[in-house]
Amino acid sequence: MPRILDYVDKSACSLGDCIEALNQSGFHPDEEESLLDAAQWLRRLGNNRDFLAETMIDELKDAAAGGGEEASAYGAQVVMLSPLGREFFLRANFWPGRDDHVFRASGQSAFSYELPHDHNFHFLTVGYFGPGYASDYYEYDYEAVEGVIGEKAGLRFIERSTLDPGKLMHYRAHLDVHSQLPPESLSVSLNIMHSGGAQGWLDQYRFDVEKDEIAGVISPGGSEIFLRVAVGLGHPDALDLAENFAKGHISERMRLVALEAQAGVLGLTERDALWRRAEGNGSRLVAGEATRRRRELEAV
């Protein structure tokens, strides 16, 4: 499960001081000193009981005056606390309880509740307000799986626990898996998120914990979406690019995306032939998915 950081510090800092400190020292979660330094600043920010309300009030005033809505650019559940485009960013996450109107109106899937998943990035989190969400925690070996849908994941259940107020944790990339449960009442967590350059090429999975299987990939990148749309539009250059990507892109996931894009514009017979050829792609991920897709076609 995520590593609990028992870092005691009763001092508080402003949001600006926290961002400035992280800008100077960086956030390198694979380095213990950097990780603990960032945890110290998140603890201090969490001790500031006024900054989040003040941030939201300022955002509301700016919006009323015709300004932008940068603080909510990451989604309705999130208030962005620092700009994107660096090796880290800060955010506040809102977690409605089952009795809250927004939960009843939108349902649990809108807030990723009961969606077992890992992360393709490290992040720190601290319980800031409310009782906190609970999670069923698992661990698995990312290097031992290929990422084929239906593949055995090797999940190991650890425990169910709650992000209590003040609890500070380090979620480890490609190791910690959790399925979040709605809190008893509205809760807020603060995060420092790592944002590395290679992150877009690393998969983030959702799991079927009952079957102990990989159930899907939840980290599509912008390049994947662009390729699918371009091929779907039928441009000949896009079709050539997809064919080249499928044969030899450095990312196995992008090879698979290129094949999926091609398959989407083919008839059943041509699609089967495409996946048959893909079984010899040289990638175990692509070969496994190609076999699965051919079986699906046979059942049509």
Q: Which of 284, 278, 283 lies closest to 261, judged by CA?
A: 278
3-state SS record for 137-177 = EEECCHHHCCCCCCCECCCEEEEEEECCECCEEEECCCCEE
Residue 223's pLDDT band (cuts 50, 70, 90): confident
In which order are the strands placed within the sheet that holds 88-95?
Answer: 3-4, 168-171, 123-129, 187-194, 88-95, 78-80
Cβ pair 191, 39 in contact under 8 A: no
Q: Which of 152, 288, 157 lies closest to 212, judged by CA?
A: 152
109 alpha-carbon distance from chain centroid: 15
What is the tens place of the pLDDT at every residue in 255-292? Answer: 999 999 999 999 999 999 999 999 998 899 999 999 99
Residue 72's pLDDT band (cuts 50, 70, 90): very low
pLDDT for 75 equals 57
Q: Which of 300, 81, 64 lies closest to 190, judged by CA?
A: 81
Looking at per-residue pLDDT, the higher value among 11 and 67 belongs to 11
pLDDT for 98 equals 92
Cβ pair 123, 174 in contact under 8 A: no
What is the tens place of the pLDDT at every residue in 131-185? Answer: 999 999 999 999 999 999 999 999 999 999 999 999 999 999 999 999 999 999 9
Question: Which stretches within the chain are classed as H helix?
Answer: 15-25, 32-47, 51-64, 101-106, 222-232, 236-248, 252-263, 268-278, 284-298
- CATH 2.60.120.10 placement within the chain: 3-217
Q: How far apart are CA 71 and CA 75, in angstroms?
A: 9
Please state the pTM of the whole predicted model. 0.87
Statement: residue 231 has pLDDT above 70: yes
What is the tens place of the pLDDT at every residue in 124-134? Answer: 999 999 999 99
Please give the structure tokens belonging to residue 91. 């955010």
Hey, how many other C-beta atoms are within 10 angstroms of the C-beta on 218? 15
Q: How far apart are CA 85 and CA 88, in angstroms?
A: 8
Domain 3-217 CATH superfamily:
Jelly Rolls (2.60.120.10)
Residue 73's pLDDT band (cuts 50, 70, 90): very low
pLDDT for 264 equals 92
Sequence-ordered list of residues with C-beta below 8 angstroms from that of 77, at least 6 positions apart, any chain: 93, 94, 95, 110, 111
Q: How far apart are CA 68 and CA 45, in angstroms?
A: 25
